[in-house]
Amino acid sequence: MQLELAVSKVDKFGVSPGGDTVEVTERPNGGVSIVLSDGQGSGPAGKAISSFVVSKTISLIADGARDGAVARAVNDALYARRRAQVSATLTIISADTDHGQLIISRNSNCPVLIFTGDAADILDEETFPIGTKRMLRPHIVQLALKKPRTVIAFSDGILSSGKGKSDRTTVDLVVAEAGSLAGKTPAEISGGILDWALERDQGRPSDDISVVAVKISEGKQERDVREMTMSFPL
């Protein structure tokens, strides 16, 4: 099996830095985790929150903690640090090769989409952003790391795109757009969804937008080479 991933993100129009943070980290016993957090608000305040959440998450993953325990611990840490005055969403997508599992952990108002062939699963069970109260639990889905799949996660800038237009952005619209791209490369998927949202916002995003696309396929490289590329505006 082979895993490919891509991230596309843009800040809210006229605001920098954005309140979303996305990082990729290797798991200590094999595999990778992608961590997405949307801090409350935008600009430096929102960025400080999401950066704290993501850095804490990555640190705990590196210590070998399980994803569900990580989400609970990060919630408690944010709650203790800010006394329930701020919140953040947290989504963790892990390819755990040690246990042969794809693990998706959500504390977010945004669903995670899973495409397996022509079938689409929407992970949209009710969860709550972290930091607002103690004893919050993430919604967790575990799948065998065998079948080719495409996983797409995003921040709420996608759902708020086109705000005020008659055709309000709904999860169904996002699923339809993502489904039309699911057969493409992760970079084409994340970039395509981002471009779609920007078009709905007429090029001026009303919120920070992040899109993560992960594709698991049966292909295997001739050599066990790991690669990562990035494009970052300066």
Helix pair angle (67-82, 43-62), 10° resolution = 140
| Structural domain count of the chain | 1
**Residues in the chain with pLDDT < 50?**
none
pLDDT at 166: 63
Q: Which two tokens stand for residue 158?
A: 């996608």
In a domain, residue 222? The reply is no
In a domain, residue 224? The reply is no
Write out pLDDT tens, residues 163-214: 877 678 999 999 999 999 999 999 999 999 999 999 999 999 999 999 999 9
In a domain, residue 75? The reply is yes
Q: Which two tokens stand for residue 121?
A: 């699963």
Helix pair angle (171-181, 186-200), 10° resolution = 140
pLDDT at 8: 97
> How distant, in Å, are the alpha carbons of 155, 212, 224, 233 from that of 59?
22, 20, 26, 27
Domain extent, residue 110, equals 2-217
pLDDT at 220: 67
Over the chain, what is the mean pLDDT? 94
Which amino acid, residue 125?
E
pLDDT at 164: 72
pLDDT at 125: 96
In a domain, residue 149? The reply is yes
In a domain, residue 226? The reply is no
pLDDT at 48: 96
Distance CA 36, CA 156 (A): 11
In a domain, residue 232? The reply is no
Task: Residue 65: give its domain's CATH number.
Answer: 3.60.40.10
For residues 102 and 145, the answer to whether their CB atoms sit within 8 Å is yes
pLDDT at 135: 86
In a domain, residue 225? The reply is no
Distance CA 185, CA 95 (A): 18
In a domain, residue 68? The reply is yes
